[in-house]
Chains A and B, each alone.
Chain A
């Protein structure tokens, strides 16, 4: 497998200058605003929790829920890590918006031909050999771009060297099977607006448990149904035949004929 890239967000380093928000808006052609909520015009934001600034962006999950639920494969995880969206495939069912455990994909609700919007880790820029716009703009080393394995090492090092500064957890290493965007924090992640009830298991697996059985079910199920048809059909035929015989016995004309042909074996 190709080496995966990712972004390390160190919330203890963020100074809340919003340079990343503006760089992201420029990259997408979105307006600069003071609203710090993800929306169809904001693919990354910085939110304040007490003294701490927390950057929000797509987590680029190792096994993305959005990609697994999309009926037409409009979202996929690239070999190098970023999770990207293709509007030409999208039919607008918004299952990705519904299913994402981090509520990242947003929708253009007020357009007649709407798109899903989400951070793509500046995949097109990466192809040109550049860093994501938000990382490039960050003056404080609060966002670091690199190979995911290296970033985890870096995060571990920061925790080890500054034991008082950080909580002992790198968010994104265990949640929903792991994410390419990982976080360091100086206080409980739950207090910084992170979901704390996420399973370690990748969410797509919960569906796949059932979905993977479908081909077998279809083959065995239809065979079984055909079998039931055959059985009940035969039962019905036999019943009809017996009925005929019975009626034959009770009607005198037929009885005579039967007696002649069968040598009177069954005659009463």
Chain B
């Protein structure tokens, strides 16, 4: 019976093809072909990686960007459950959902990149505390578990397992504290990965501050991702977060980016980078592109209230921050090493197709969850276009509580 139901649902999905569904299908089919080549013929057959360039976009994009872009989960959860900033409660669930999906996909992507993925559990029993990769392995594993717990009430409620949801509610504060600690550790460790290569990394990107820069930029871009998501989901399935909350999130991004900019300027002074800054080469251009797109433009846009409080303006500020972030991670992981290795790495189409497949799966999973689980607050959906800035968000929150709308995990008190 039930099986029949699933089958007919799948049949329904295929019969009602849309543009985005066909894009999704194409990406998944191409990705599956590359998956076959990768696992049957080895990394060399599917990728442009070599002894001279051992890490490509599966590390630079899938892992460095994937983990960073999922940072909204710990930033928002920390704000709501540790700092009691109840104002942000309505976004806790979408943020945690993104983080959870993000981390699951990062681990999934790692299975492609690791030469011997069946040994992925080895860091559990074979320890080397000197390696930032070891620390990453532990933190990502533990944090994914923490996220699974934080995310679980959305599933429990869907299946009316209120007892189970309540058990999670009781543990939520220690869980979130653990999540914040683990996140700050492994977000920064992604930067620490490159500390060991002072002679290889191009001077514009080598600094002892790498771990701190990676952490702060993740704090900046996490909220930016939540903003983008809300914008996209409002277009896709008319579920969104109130503008006042989002524009306040935009402020968080602006402040974090400002701190980040100060640190980067400090590096320019400490490491005497001026000659590199004004050298007209690939590195110089990409460095300026990264600073302008990812830091200067978003800060400028976000400090102007008229842009920050405008839906489209806010969305584009967040988009700039995210693009600059991705550019930064690609610069650190690819651009900064090309000169030393004397090679120009560009991903093969198969590398790109695997990455795109993973991104498509992420979008698909988010869309499914947003439709089927209690992710977005009811009040926001019902309120749709009319409710503008004149409303205090406190009111909306009260609404949500009156309707028994659970906002990620626990009640206000």
The interface of chain A, by Cβ under 8 A from chain B, is 38-40, 65, 68-74, 89-95, 97-99, 101, 103, 106-114, 195, 197-199, 203-204, 206-211, 214, 217-218, 221-222, 225-226, 228-229, 232-233, 235-236
Question: CA of A233 to CA of B80 in the docked complex: distance in angstroms?
Answer: 11
8 contacts between A and B (CB under 8 A): A69-B133, A71-B123, A91-B119, A91-B120, A107-B51, A114-B116, A203-B198, A214-B185
Q: Is the CB–CB distance between A214 and B199 below 8 Å? A: no
- Beyond A71-B131, A229-B82, whether A103 also contacts B198 by CB under 8 A is no
Chain A residues lying within 8 Å of B173, measured Cβ to Cβ, are 229
Identity of the chain A residue whose Cβ is nearest the Cβ of B341 in the assembled complex: A103
Question: CA of A109 to CA of B38 in the docked complex: distance in angstroms?
Answer: 10
- Other A-B contacts than A71-B136, A112-B41, A222-B178, 7 sampled, CB-CB below 8 A, are A70-B133, A73-B126, A95-B193, A110-B41, A207-B196, A225-B180, A229-B83
Q: Is the CB–CB distance between B132 and A93 below 8 Å? A: no
B127 at the interface (CB under 8 A from A): yes
Residue pairs across A and B with CB atoms within 8 Å: the count is 168
Identity of the chain A residue whose Cβ is nearest the Cβ of B114 in the assembled complex: A92
Q: Is the CB–CB distance between A98 and B54 below 8 Å? A: yes
Q: Is the CB–CB distance between A69 and B116 below 8 Å? A: no
Q: Is the CB–CB distance between A204 and B42 below 8 Å? A: no
Q: Is the CB–CB distance between A232 and B178 below 8 Å? A: no
Convert B70-96 into 0s and 1s, putting 1 for each residue whose CB lies closer than 8 angstroms to a CB of A: 000000001001111010000000000
Chain A residues lying within 8 Å of B197, measured Cβ to Cβ, are 98-99, 101, 203
Question: CA of A89 to CA of B200 in the docked complex: distance in angstroms?
Answer: 27
Partner among A114, A199, A210 whose Cβ is within 8 Å of the Cβ of B198: A199
Partner among B39, B129, B133, B195 whose Cβ is within 8 Å of the Cβ of A93: B133
Question: CA of A40 to CA of B50 in the docked complex: distance in angstroms?
Answer: 11
Q: Is the CB–CB distance between A110 and B199 below 8 Å? A: no
- Beyond A89-B122, A225-B177, A232-B84, whether A71 also contacts B51 by CB under 8 A is no
Partner among A40, A74, A94, A203 whose Cβ is within 8 Å of the Cβ of B55: A94
Q: Is the CB–CB distance between B128 and A114 below 8 Å? A: no
- Beyond A89-B119, A111-B42, A206-B198, whether A225 also contacts B82 by CB under 8 A is yes
Partner among B42, B54, B114, B133 whose Cβ is within 8 Å of the Cβ of A110: B42
- Beyond A71-B134, A107-B51, A232-B84, whether A89 also contacts B44 by CB under 8 A is no
Q: Is the CB–CB distance between B115 and A199 below 8 Å? A: no
Question: CA of A90 to CA of B195 in the docked complex: distance in angstroms?
Answer: 22
The interface of chain B, by Cβ under 8 A from chain A, is 39-45, 49-52, 54-55, 78, 81-84, 86, 113-117, 119-120, 122-123, 126-137, 173, 177-178, 180-181, 184-185, 188, 192-193, 195-200, 208, 211
Q: Is the CB–CB distance between B128 and A197 below 8 Å? A: no
Question: CA of A69 to CA of B116 in the docked complex: distance in angstroms?
Answer: 17
Q: Is the CB–CB distance between A221 and B130 below 8 Å? A: no
Question: CA of A65 to CA of B52 in the docked complex: distance in angstroms?
Answer: 17
Question: CA of A197 to CA of B285 in the docked complex: distance in angstroms?
Answer: 24
Q: Is the CB–CB distance between B122 and A221 below 8 Å? A: no
Question: CA of A213 to CA of B139 in the docked complex: distance in angstroms?
Answer: 15
- Beyond A72-B122, A92-B117, whether A211 also contacts B42 by CB under 8 A is no
Question: CA of A108 to CA of B137 in the docked complex: distance in angstroms?
Answer: 23
Q: Is the CB–CB distance between B135 and A90 below 8 Å? A: no
* B198 smallest CB distance to A (angstroms): 6
Chain A residues lying within 8 Å of B180, measured Cβ to Cβ, are 225
Question: CA of A206 to CA of B195 in the docked complex: distance in angstroms?
Answer: 6
* B172 smallest CB distance to A (angstroms): 11
Q: Is the CB–CB distance between A69 and B131 below 8 Å? A: yes
Q: Is the CB–CB distance between B119 and A208 below 8 Å? A: no
Which of B81, B131, B134, B192 has the most chain A CB within a 10 Å cutoff? B131
Question: CA of A218 to CA of B189 in the docked complex: distance in angstroms?
Answer: 14
Q: Is the CB–CB distance between A207 and B195 below 8 Å? A: yes
Identity of the chain B residue whose Cβ is nearest the Cβ of A90 in the assembled complex: B116
Chain B residues lying within 8 Å of A65, measured Cβ to Cβ, are 196
Q: Is the CB–CB distance between A228 and B198 below 8 Å? A: no
Question: CA of A83 to CA of B173 in the docked complex: distance in angstroms?
Answer: 46
Identity of the chain A residue whose Cβ is nearest the Cβ of B39 in the assembled complex: A112
- Beyond A112-B41, A197-B199, whether A204 also contacts B130 by CB under 8 A is yes
Question: CA of A195 to CA of B196 in the docked complex: distance in angstroms?
Answer: 16
- Beyond A70-B131, A91-B117, A214-B135, whether A103 also contacts B122 by CB under 8 A is no
Partner among B43, B120, B128, B192 whose Cβ is within 8 Å of the Cβ of A70: B128
Q: Is the CB–CB distance between B131 and A110 below 8 Å? A: no
Chain B residues lying within 8 Å of A210, measured Cβ to Cβ, are 132, 188, 192, 195, 211
